Copies of this chain bind each other. A is one copy, B any other.
């Protein structure tokens, strides 16, 4: 999606350790007009998939998920991050390592919010090593719901998780795929 690529080029900052900082429009500050267009782009790809729920992770996936869910007329469920695996109540949980923060989290979704009748679209702001998507897939699997696909705003193509998902047959739609980035230049993949 060229509009998103333009925002990444103009406002994104490449930091050491392959971190792409997009706090100006996707995280910390949310450019709602832009993200609504990103949401519409995601909707176009998955519009005929019968999505009943969008599943994301707090915090940075929530804004885009809500703006996208309007097009699907569905609810958003977000997994909370807990430092402990010691979770009580009826929940689905899965462990998740954060490369950005270099720590382990347990992602938790109350069981009442996902059922075997749900057709779930996973949505997140970034796809890098794929840890969050793996954990969310595990949660969907535990709930008995159906995974419709995975929607990502920015995929870091060079970190491989996206191509691995595609090879597995997952319907992955990334609005922008960064194939290479240096401090001065960001190169996008166009299929």
* Chain A residues engaging chain B, CB cutoff 8 angstroms: 23-24, 28-33, 35-36, 58-59, 62-63, 65-67, 69-70, 73-78, 80, 109-110, 112-113
Contacts and interface: CB of A to CB of B under 8 A. Distances in A.
Copies in the complex: 2
A69 to B, nearest CB: 4
B29 A113 contact: yes
Nearest to A69: B32
A30 B112 contact: no
A118 B175 CA distance: 30
A50 to B, nearest CB: 17
Nearest to A114: B29
Given A63-B63, A67-B66, A110 B32 contact: no
